[in-house]
């Protein structure tokens, strides 16, 4: 590759990063699977309930290796039956202000980081249906069933590279199947990268529902789950 071509490629990446940081990467309202017609357009009806979590993935901080990939888990307590759940993740956050977001303990110290990763997410359901007596051992010994997964979504903002590598999924409850029904219980969002390698950078994860679900807990640390179970 010639020197001029290399410089051109570097300049393109730099311009993409500047555009992202400058706020051109806009996160739209989280639309559900329900659609309506507005004039000539078909639009998605926004979810009623959206819970946000801001985090920073550190090198070698994964919770498990699955098919050779480093997975990290964020736990989600769903307190009631839901007709649908939406999950989306973007990286990096890029200084975006997110109202009422829960922050990981290491987020603020790394919020200005320009590191990011190609997000790949799963939504998983456990056989834990109560927070009473919840513990790390109980979670580690739980059975987990993958309900849905997503790698790339054109609905999400592009990453600084210019690629649509952020993720979004919607999962509708299958009431006739206990393993696939969105009943009250403990769920988790698993995240990694599409390609095997390090998962490092800031991220925003959002869990949403088309109905209000008071008492939803989204956490990396199980302490809030233990606290809620002790009440």
What is the pTM (predicted TM-score) of this model? 0.88
In SS3 terms, the chain reads as CCHHHHHHHHHHHHHHHHHHHHHHCCCCCCEEEEEEEECCEEEEEECCEEEEEEEEECCCCCCEEECCEEEEEEEEEECCCCCEEEEEEECCCCCCCCCCCEECCCHHHHCCCCCCCCEEEEEEEECCCCCCCCCHHHHHCCCEEEEEEECCCCCCCCCCCCCCCCEEEEEECCCCCCCCCCCCEEEEEEEEECCCCCCCEEEEEEEEECCCCCCCEEECCCHHHHHHHCC
Looking at the chain, the whole-number percentage of residues with pLDDT higher than 70 is 89
Give the tens place of pLDDT for each residue, 68-88. 999 999 999 999 999 999 999
Give the tens place of pLDDT for each residue, 10-56. 433 343 444 444 444 589 999 999 999 999 999 999 999 999 999 99
Lowest mean pLDDT among 17-26, 64-73, 95-104, 217-226: 17-26
List, in order of start, the domains of the chain with CATH numbers: 3-229 (2.60.120.380)
- Diameter of the chain measured on Cα atoms: 66
Query: How big is the chain, counted in residues?
Result: 231
pLDDT at 25: 59
Q: Could you give the CA distance from residue 85 to residue 182 in angstroms, rounded to a whole number?
A: 8
Nearest to 56 by CA among 222, 203, 218: 203
218 pLDDT above the threshold of 90:
yes
Instruction: Report phi then psi at 179, rounded to 5.
Output: -75, -25
- 110 CB-side CA count, 13 A: 22
């Amino acid at each position: 590759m010639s020197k001029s071509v290399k410089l051109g490629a570097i300049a393109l990446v730099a311009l993409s990063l500047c555009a992202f940081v400058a706020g051109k990467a806009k996160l739209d309202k989280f639309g559900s699977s329900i659609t309506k017609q507005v004039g000539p357009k078909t639009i998605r009806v926004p979810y009623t309930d959206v819970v946000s979590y801001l985090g920073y993935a550190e090198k070698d901080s994964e919770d498990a290796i699955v098919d050779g990939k480093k997975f990290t888990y964020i736990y989600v307590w769903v307190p009631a039956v839901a007709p649908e759940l939406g999950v989306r993740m973007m990286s990096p956050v890029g200084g975006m202000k997110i109202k009422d977001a829960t922050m990981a303990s290491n987020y603020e110290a790394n919020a200005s980081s320009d590191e990011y990763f190609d997000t790949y997410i799963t939504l998983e359901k456990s056989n834990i249906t109560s927070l009473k007596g919840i513990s790390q051992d109980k979670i580690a010994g739980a059975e987990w069933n993958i309900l849905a997964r997503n790698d790339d979504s054109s609905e999400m903002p592009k990453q600084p590279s210019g690629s649509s590598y952020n993720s979004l999924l919607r999962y509708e409850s299958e009431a006739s199947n206990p393993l696939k029904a969105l009943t009250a219980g403990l769920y988790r969002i698993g995240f990694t990268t599409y390609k095997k390698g390090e998962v490092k950078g800031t991220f925003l994860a959002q869990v949403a529902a088309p109905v209000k679900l008071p008492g939803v807990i989204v956490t990396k640390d199980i302490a809030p789950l233990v606290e809620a179970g002790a009440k």
